[in-house]
Amino acid sequence: MDTSLRRTWAEIDLDALAHNYHQARKAIGPNVKYMGIVKADAYGHGAIQVSEELVRLGADYLAVSSLDEAQELRTHGVKVPVLILGYTPPEMTSQLIQYDITQAVSSESTAEKYSAAAVAVGGVLKIHIKVDTGMSRLGFLVRGDHFSESVESIFHTCELPGLEAEGIFTHFAVSDEDDADSEVYTREQFDVFTKTIDTLKARGKTFAIRHCANSGALARYPEMYLDMVRPGIALYGAGADVERLDLKPVMTFKTSISTVRELDEGTDISYGRTFRTPQKTRVGVLPVGYADGLMRGLSNKLKFQTPWGAAPLLGRICMDMCIVDLSQFPQMQEGNEIEIFGQKQHVNVVAEILNTIPYELLCAVSKRVPRLYMKNNEVIGRVLRILT
């Protein structure tokens, strides 16, 4: 490994990714399609590398949040179907068609613009109808009094020239929560989704791919798999269902000790002087800060993982550096590596310290942190985003 890459890095364990994929495949069986969610650079893991691996493993479909992300996959030779979950301006319709990208459609008025643009270039745009059953974000609103009007509107959308309505989907708000109220809400969402599909079917409109199961539903509601599942966080071995699905963390975020020093008793550490050594203290300076994705809210709270046990972070996290207490670990020397989260300390645990979700911590690992791709514990590739 180049010395420049030994500062701070993220190891992406492709064997763990494969394990998590197979866990999902075991649950859904061979006949339900698997859509890998690779938006936000595959939750920080690297969209291209993760997508290539998923295609090798047998994923049927990939999903991203924007046209830029979809184009990134296509320009790197990813050939499986790709769905854009978010909004794409209708002016970009010809590019969607050119790159053979499937677009989520949330309203008839936007669909009319896609349709006109597709007809103008003599192409066909593949779409999936997005139905809002309770997330209240995007989609045809089918709850309560909106039902009949929206079903009518979906029907018309599917009839538009230049569009091919391949799929229909909805998204759950609380499928990953275990309380009874969340289960009731998820079942209500599912019921109105199936009622929408059934009503359209009675009018002669059917869809090849009906889907709604995110990671939470993959783990809890097999009856909701329909034609395809859409796990994101479970694929990366994090979130509420690590134990339920027996998942392995894919990313391990690591750094190394740049300098070791002995500080006197009563020494103030870092900005704001929020930590004062109670005695003589052996510390290490770590070349990782909030600009790498080590969130500043972890100041004075996180424990780093050394091979011999947990070592507390002292004082505030700076942009590029922070300080670790090595008093308990005289073996730890300059150059030794230290884990921030991953195999020894799960990202879920660190997310809890911040009262946030692991998604946020994974996505926060920044573009100046090299990703090392691992198989059989060997580095098989590396990517540094600021050099690409």
Ligand X SMILES: *Cc1c(COP(=O)(O)O)cnc(C)c1O
Which residues are identified as catalytic? 39, 271
End-to-end C-alpha distance for the chain, whole angstroms:
18
Task: Pick the closer one to ligand X by CB: 141 or 234.
Answer: 234
CB of 217 to ligand X, least distance (A): 8
Task: Pick the closer one to ligand X by CB: 43 or 290.
Answer: 43
The amino acid occupying position 225 is: Y
Task: Pick the closer one to ligand X by CB: 49 or 214.
Answer: 214
At 5, give phi and psi (nearest 5°).
Answer: -95, 0
What tokens appear for 283 in the block? Answer: 């510390």
CB of 2 to ligand X, least distance (A): 33
Cα(164)–Cα(154) distance, rounded to whole angstroms?
13
Asked whether position 62 contacts ligand X by CB under 6 A, the answer is no
Cα(67)–Cα(84) distance, rounded to whole angstroms?
7
Burial class (CB in 10 A: 0-12, 13-18, 19+), 279: exposed
Task: Pick the closer one to ligand X by CB: 189 or 281.
Answer: 189
What tokens appear for 30 in the block? Answer: 């061979």
Q: Which of 10, 12, 37, 129 binds ligand X (CB under 6 A)?
A: 37
Q: Which of 215, 252, 277, 348 binds ligand X (CB under 6 A)?
A: 215
Cα(325)–Cα(278) distance, rounded to whole angstroms?
12
The amino acid occupying position 133 is: T
**Residues binding ligand X: number (CB under 6 A):** 11
Q: Which of 230, 254, 303, 316 binds ligand X (CB under 6 A)?
A: 230
Q: Which of 214, 255, 270, 345 binds ligand X (CB under 6 A)?
A: 214
- Stretch binding ligand X (CB under 6 A), from 17-25, 68-76, 226-234, 287-295: 226-234
**Residues near 163 by Cβ (< 8 Å), separated by ≥ 6?**
105, 111, 114, 115, 118, 124, 125, 126, 127, 157
CB of 216 to ligand X, least distance (A): 6
Q: Which of 233, 324, 338, 372 binds ligand X (CB under 6 A)?
A: 233
Q: Which of 171, 205, 220, 316 binds ligand X (CB under 6 A)?
A: 171
Asked whether position 232 contacts ligand X by CB under 6 A, the answer is yes
Q: Cβ distance 123 to 97 under 8 Å?
A: yes
DSSP 340: E
With both helix axes pointing from N to C terminus, report the angle between 67-75 and 47-57 in degrees, rounded to the nearest 10. Answer: 70
- Stretch binding ligand X (CB under 6 A), from 88-96, 178-186, 192-200, 227-235: 227-235
Residues that bind ligand X (CB under 6 A): 37, 39, 85, 171, 214-215, 230-234
